[in-house]
């Protein structure tokens, strides 16, 4: 048995077919995948700031607000 999920073991699945050409370039462990994802998002955010200026700086904050509102509601309810 391998470490991969079943859908990646079965070569007939669409995701396996899509990932086949890039599989050699994918990170081999979880830490490398997390770091690569973080660097990708930071790079995209930097490009957005360079392209759109100040509004791109506040996009992540706007994305965080709903989660903070839910946290405040849960704290208020005592959960």
pLDDT score recorded for residue 50: 92
Mean pLDDT of 15-44: 81
Higher-confidence position of 72 and 14: 72
d(CA 78, CA 72): 10
d(CA 56, CA 41): 13
Mean pLDDT of 23-36: 81
Mean confidence (pLDDT) of the chain: 80
User: Is-above-0.85 flag for pTM?
Assistant: no
Q: Following DSSP, what letter does each residue of 2-65 receive, concatenated?
A: -SS-HHHHSTTSHHHHHHTTTGGGS-SSHHHHHHHHHHHHHHHHHHHHHHH-HHHHHHHHHHHH
């Amino acid at each position: 048995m391998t470490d991969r999920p079943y859908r990646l073991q079965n070569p007939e699945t669409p995701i396996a077919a899509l990932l086949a050409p890039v599989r050699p370039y994918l990170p081999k462990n979880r830490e490398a995948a997390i770091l690569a994802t973080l660097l990708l998002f930071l790079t995209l955010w930097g490009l957005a700031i360079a392209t759109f200026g100040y509004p791109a700086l506040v996009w992540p904050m706007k994305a965080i607000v709903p989660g903070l509102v839910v946290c405040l509601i849960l704290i208020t309810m005592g959960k």
